[in-house]
């Protein structure tokens, strides 16, 4: 049990609103010294990722250009949790939209905090077993994805050698592999 006390928020000013997130400045009083200090926080919707595994034991990954790095990134299918959708419904939708695959066997793997110092949202990851092609992809307006079918046994090597280096993907994949070794 912690003896620490939370900071008291005395004010919040929205600095910027974008289609992806809101930036706010929080005025907070430190429980340690009573002084008011400012912090920048980002408000974003919940995010959802899927680890789709086919009956042949392949994982479906996507490769896409990311503007933050100016590079291509190998990732799990996923996206923003839309208002009115549960994370599971978002996982099912994103799997179909980005890969053309679906599954009747979704299991919640984890819900992680992307960066609690700045973000208040969570990233939910589901495993979709027995994923099979059932339709066409329907990319969002700014998406252009390549699909990769990777043997499940190669997934760990892709993380270890840096072919997959998106932190949220690495965390989800490592949890998936660790839990799978214990019968998940």
- pLDDT tens for 155-182 read 999 999 999 999 999 999 999 999 999 9
Could you give the domains of the chain? 8-43 (no CATH), 47-181 (3.90.79.10)
- pLDDT tens for 20-43 read 899 999 999 999 999 999 999 999
Tell me if 30 sits within 8 A of 39, measured CB to CB.
Answer: no
The residue behind tokens 């990732």 is 75
Per-residue pLDDT of the chain (184 residues; tens, 9 = 90+): 889 999 999 999 999 999 989 999 999 999 999 999 999 999 999 999 999 999 999 999 999 999 999 999 999 999 999 999 999 999 999 999 999 999 999 999 999 999 999 999 999 999 999 999 999 999 988 889 999 999 999 999 999 999 999 999 999 999 999 999 999 9
End-to-end CA distance of the chain: 30
Tell me if 62 sits within 8 A of 99, measured CB to CB.
Answer: yes
DSSP string, 105-164: EEEEEEEE-S-TTTB---EEEEEEEEEEE-S-----TT---EEEEEEGGGHHHHHHTTSS
Distance of alpha carbon 139 from alpha carbon 31, whole angstroms: 47
Distance of alpha carbon 75 from alpha carbon 170, whole angstroms: 9
């Amino acid at each position: 049990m912690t003896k620490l006390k939370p900071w008291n928020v005395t004010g919040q000013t929205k600095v910027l609103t974008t289609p992806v997130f809101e930036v706010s400045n929080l005025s907070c009083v430190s429980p340690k010294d009573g002084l008011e200090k400012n912090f920048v926080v980002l408000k974003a919707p919940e995010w959802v990722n899927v680890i789709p595994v086919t009956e042949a034991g392949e994982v479906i990954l996507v490769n896409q250009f990311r503007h933050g790095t100016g590079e291509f990134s190998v990732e799990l299918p996923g996206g923003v949790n839309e208002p009115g959708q549960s994370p599971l419904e978002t996982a099912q939708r994103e799997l179909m939209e980005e890969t053309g695959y679906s599954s009747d066997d979704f299991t919640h793997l984890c819900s992680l905090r992307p960066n609690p110092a700045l973000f208040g949202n969570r990233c939910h990851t589901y495993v979709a077993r027995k994923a099979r092609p059932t339709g066409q992809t329907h990319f969002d307006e700014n998406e252009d994805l390549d699909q990769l079918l990777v043997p499940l046994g190669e997934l760990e090597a892709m993380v270890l050698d840096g072919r997959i280096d998106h932190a949220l993907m690495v965390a989800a994949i490592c949890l998936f592999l660790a839990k799978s070794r214990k019968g998940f």
